[in-house]
């Protein structure tokens, strides 16, 4: 009669513990995945292609689609203009006030969206805000208000992404470039920035997607005026406010499809950037 050795029993016990561990992880992950899939299945089951086609053909919704594409793109570009230098600065250098700046950048992430919109509205009621509107162009309840509301929130996420990106890039090649005669700026643009292209794509995609889903700040600061400051999230709100659940759901599914395409492109270009 064969008798299991203590080492064999320990290995068997370890396998059972590993199976239980991974089973628990899979179960918890699966609950959330099933919830998301259930939401999508419920949405698609409630509407039809006819409802979706009628919604997309609507003049108001077509305007909201065009305005969303325009404002999200502008907001994403502006976010990158800030996120790249800010992320590099916060990841590579220690300077007085660095922690406070890092904290301030996180404020739009943790603030309730309506508070962000209200703060923007109050800002442009001050002498400073009115001077900007008088000297340049109207902002409040206009298209620039949509862009500013999107940018205020999306830029914080882009900065976080770029900070992580630059933190993962070794500073050694940049230091070597400086010993070979490059200035700090030349070393950044010629050595570090090309290595960060995948992170830049990710930050831009994240900022664009975050702008697409922004609602609270836009509602308060830009309003929800049809054919003027109406973007896709406010279209959902307007359709729901008049009881048109089918149109609201159709627009929601359109946003889901747009987000899926954007995420797919982010993965595609991200992989290509990694292979390059």
Cα gap 189→210, rounded to integer Å: 27
Spatial CB neighbours of 271, under 8 Å, sequence gap ≥ 6:
none
Q: What is the pLDDT of residues 180-223, one digit of tens each?
A: 888 888 888 888 888 888 889 889 988 998 999 899 899 999 98
Instruction: Say if residues 183 and 191 touch (Cβ distance below 8 Å).
Output: no
Q: Tell me, rounded to whole angstroms, the distance of Cα 5 from its chain centroid.
A: 55
Q: Does domain 48-275 bear CATH number 1.10.3720.10?
A: yes
pLDDT at 231: 92
Q: Taking all residues of the chain, what is their mean pLDDT, rounded to a whole number?
A: 84
The residue extents of the domains of the chain are: 1-46, 48-275
Q: What is the pLDDT of residues 53-85, one digit of tens each?
A: 777 778 888 899 899 999 999 999 999 999 999
Q: Return the ∠ at Cα 116 (arms to 115 and 120), rounded to 5°.
A: 115
pLDDT at 173: 85
pLDDT at 17: 67
Phi/psi at 244 (5° precision): -90, 75
Q: What pTM was estimated for this model as a whole?
A: 0.82
pLDDT at 248: 84
Nearest to 154 by CA among 226, 100, 82, 92: 82
Give, in order, the Cα–Cα distances in Å from 70 to each of 74, 76, 178: 6, 10, 40
């Amino acid at each position: 009669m064969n008798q299991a050795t203590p080492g064999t029993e320990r290995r068997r016990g370890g396998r059972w513990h590993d199976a239980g561990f991974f089973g628990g992880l899979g179960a918890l992950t699966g609950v959330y995945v099933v919830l998301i899939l259930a939401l999508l299945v419920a949405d698609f089951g409630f509407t039809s292609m006819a409802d979706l086609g009628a919604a997309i053909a609507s003049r108001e919704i077509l305007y909201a689609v065009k305005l969303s594409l325009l404002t999200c793109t502008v907001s994403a570009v502006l976010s990158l203009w800030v996120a790249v230098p800010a992320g590099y600065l916060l990841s590579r250098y220690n300077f007085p006030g660095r922690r406070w700046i890092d904290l301030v950048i996180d404020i739009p992430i943790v603030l309730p969206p309506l508070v962000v919109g209200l703060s923007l509205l109050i800002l442009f009621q001050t002498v400073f805000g009115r001077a900007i509107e008088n000297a340049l162009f109207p902002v409040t309840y206009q298209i620039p208000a949509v862009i500013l509301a999107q940018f205020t929130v999306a830029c914080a996420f882009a900065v976080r992404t770029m900070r992580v990106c630059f933190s993962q890039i070794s500073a050694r090649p940049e230091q070597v470039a400086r010993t070979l005669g490059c200035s700090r700026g030349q070393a950044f643009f010629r050595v570090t920035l090309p290595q960060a292209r995948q992170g830049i794509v990710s930050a831009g995609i994240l900022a664009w997607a975050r702008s697409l889903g922004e609602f609270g700040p836009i509602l308060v600061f830009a309003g929800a005026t049809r054919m003027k400051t109406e973007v896709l999230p406010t279209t959902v709100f307007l359709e729901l406010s008049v009881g048109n659940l089918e149109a609201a759901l159709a627009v929601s599914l359109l946003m889901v499809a747009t987000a899926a395409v954007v995420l797919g492109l982010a993965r595609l270009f991200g992989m290509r950037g990694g292979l390059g």
